Amino acid sequence: MKAVLVAAVVSLVVALFGTPMFIKVLVRRGYGQFIRDDGPTSHHTKRGTPTMGGAVIVAATITAYGMAHLAFWTAPSWSGVLVLFLMAGLGLVGFLDDYIKISKQRSLGLRSKQKLFGQGLVGVVFAILALQFPNDSGRTPASTKISFVRDTNLDLAFAGTIVGVLLFILFANVIIAGTSNGVNLTDGLDGLATGASVMTFAAYVLIGIWQFNQNCQTNAGIKCYEVRDPLDLAIVAAAAMGACFGFLWWNGSPAKIFMGDTGSLALGGLLAGLAIVTRTEFLVVILGGLFVTITLSVIIQVASFKSTGKRVFRMAPLQHHFELLGWQEVTIVIRFWIIAGLFVAFGLGLFYAEWVVGAA
């Protein structure tokens, strides 16, 4: 349990003090955000603000994870390493996208097909490896069973192992694409995605600790959890939470730096990885309810415009709709944080209620 605290503190310190140093590097190189002309006019003042700050979040998370294990001389788990690989891999895709935007001074970085290919490539590698590396009890980081708060009886391997693996790879990539793009769409206002991510990763700290205390390997019971490395996943989540906290100090309004696609894709990827290996694949839809809501606003807007030629919102994603209604940016961010917190509380309530009802 102490390793969880060490990871959170180390990542907080690294992000808090590393971000301003990274800002100086970006300013010297002229790596500033390019603001699209069709966005809210209030955003034009943000042109030139350093971006790619997500690199600090990724570095702080990985550093803190390593330091937590080094402090107590413990070995990293395959589950922890895999979700960090997913975070770093998608962060690299986002970095390439950000770098193209900056170097070419345009709002378009990687084309949508290129970005999806990069996300898919990293996702496929993650999904394949997640079904490998069984521990002494034969448990792999992920399973082919569909999960909500735990694995259900619905197994993707119903037609055989090979079919199950292929379906799992597809299913995992849907989750990865959904969460990474969801966080990416949410990252439109100062501190919005960062603050919401803090709450979501905090939820996974609690989930990991609870699953560790009620794990089938050490505490066999009716409602024990078949998760391979729950405590190590709590360490990863704590490291990400601390990194986001530290980054939020500089990312809050008015932002001194943006996380860019480097950060949003990385955080979304880590969220997906945690959901898959903690066997909470559908619970993440609730825990990350704000990201889902904002993504749905874009889907609704596009579907409505293509089918009827009319827009449901003044602008999508949803946060920009409220900007055009006259809401102040800080007001939107705080209210959306409240919504994110309510989703997280509801998701944790469902997670705990399922265990209480089953154990009664």
Binding positions for Mg(2+) are 184, 261
Among the listed residues 49, 54, 52, 22, the one whose alpha carbon sits nearest the alpha carbon of residue 33: 49
Q: What φ, ψ does residue 282 adopt, rounded to 5°?
A: -95, -20
- Give the contacts of 37 (CB within 8 A, at least 6 positions apart): 107
3-class state of residue 145 by DSSP: strand
Residues annotated within a binding site: 184, 261
Q: Which two tokens stand for residue 341?
A: 């917190």
- Give the contacts of 5 (CB within 8 A, at least 6 positions apart): 238
| Inter-residue contact 197 to 269 (CB < 8 Å) | no
3-class state of residue 50 by DSSP: strand
Q: Which two tokens stand for residue 242?
A: 């601390």
**Which residue has tokens 């082919």?**
144
Q: Which two tokens stand for residue 281?
A: 């694949």
CA distances from 118 to 88, 96, 111, 131, 144 (A): 12, 10, 11, 21, 23
- Give the contacts of 183 (CB within 8 A, at least 6 positions apart): 193, 197, 264, 265, 267, 268, 271, 288, 291
